[in-house]
Amino acid sequence: MSAILPPAAKYWWKQPLDRVEGTWIVIALTWCLIMFFMMPYWHVYGKQNLSNEAYRTTPEVYQKKTQEMVDKYTVRKETAQEIPVVHPPAGSDVYLIARLWQWWPILELEEGKTYRLHIMSMDWLHGFSLQPENINIEVHPGYEHIVTMTPTKADNYSIICNEFCGVNHHTMASKLYVVKSAK
Ligand code: CUA
């Protein structure tokens, strides 16, 4: 018999199941089920997958909201590209833009205060990855993603893009500052 000719026994599902084959099917199925139930488990008990909200919007509308925050609360500028560092009021809505190949602006938040962090891509898919916390959020264009978060430890965090987004993907890195609360 060769692959050119039709098989002698036409219906493969009528063949008896080999013991080894059956064992592997059971192992694979069990593992699939474990991984499936790990998804909701990690969402509730893990710390990396934050609950988020997403709303349809446009780059123009989002850019405007971000610009308003930057105009009001910029405290200084950093890096060769003069990226504004913004210190918005504790507990407010804060905006972050992802675009080729930059995070804009740099946010400075206060420890122990709860913020609504908005993130949106102006062009195509980017990945928000906060290090070393390992918090990851996929950032799609056309949607405003909102994560309610409370930074628990004052530190300098790094934001890197973890979705390949073109030739300068590797340069798409930024910072997020968490500082001790003023009062
Ligand atoms: Cu943005 Cu990779």
Note down pLDDT in tens along the chain; length 183 residues. Answer: 567 888 788 888 888 889 999 999 999 999 999 999 998 898 888 776 677 889 999 999 999 999 999 999 998 888 888 899 999 998 899 999 999 999 999 999 999 999 999 999 999 999 999 999 888 899 999 999 999 989 999 999 999 999 999 999 999 999 999 999 865
Strand order in the sheet with 52-56: 52-56, 143-149, 115-121, 93-99, 102-104
Q: Which atom of ligand 1 is nearest to the CA of 126?
A: 1
d(CA 128, CA 30): 32
Is residue 85 lining ligand 1, measured as CB closer than 6 Å? no
Is residue 172 lining ligand 1, measured as CB closer than 6 Å? yes
Is residue 130 lining ligand 1, measured as CB closer than 6 Å? no
The pLDDT value given to residue 48: 66
Is residue 126 lining ligand 1, measured as CB closer than 6 Å? yes
Is residue 161 lining ligand 1, measured as CB closer than 6 Å? yes
Is residue 169 lining ligand 1, measured as CB closer than 6 Å? yes
In sequence order, the 6+-apart residues with CB closer than 8 A to the CB of 108 are 75, 85, 86, 87, 177, 178, 179
Residue of the CA atom closest to atom 1 of ligand 1:
126
Give which of 169, 3, 33 is closest to 102, Cα–Cα.
169
76 C-beta neighbours (distance < 10 Å), count? 12
**CA of 115 relative to ligand 1 center, distance in Å:** 24
The pLDDT value given to residue 91: 85
The pLDDT value given to residue 125: 95
The pLDDT value given to residue 165: 95
The pLDDT value given to residue 1: 54
**CA of 3 relative to ligand 1 center, distance in Å:** 45
**CA of 174 relative to ligand 1 center, distance in Å:** 11
The pLDDT value given to residue 67: 95
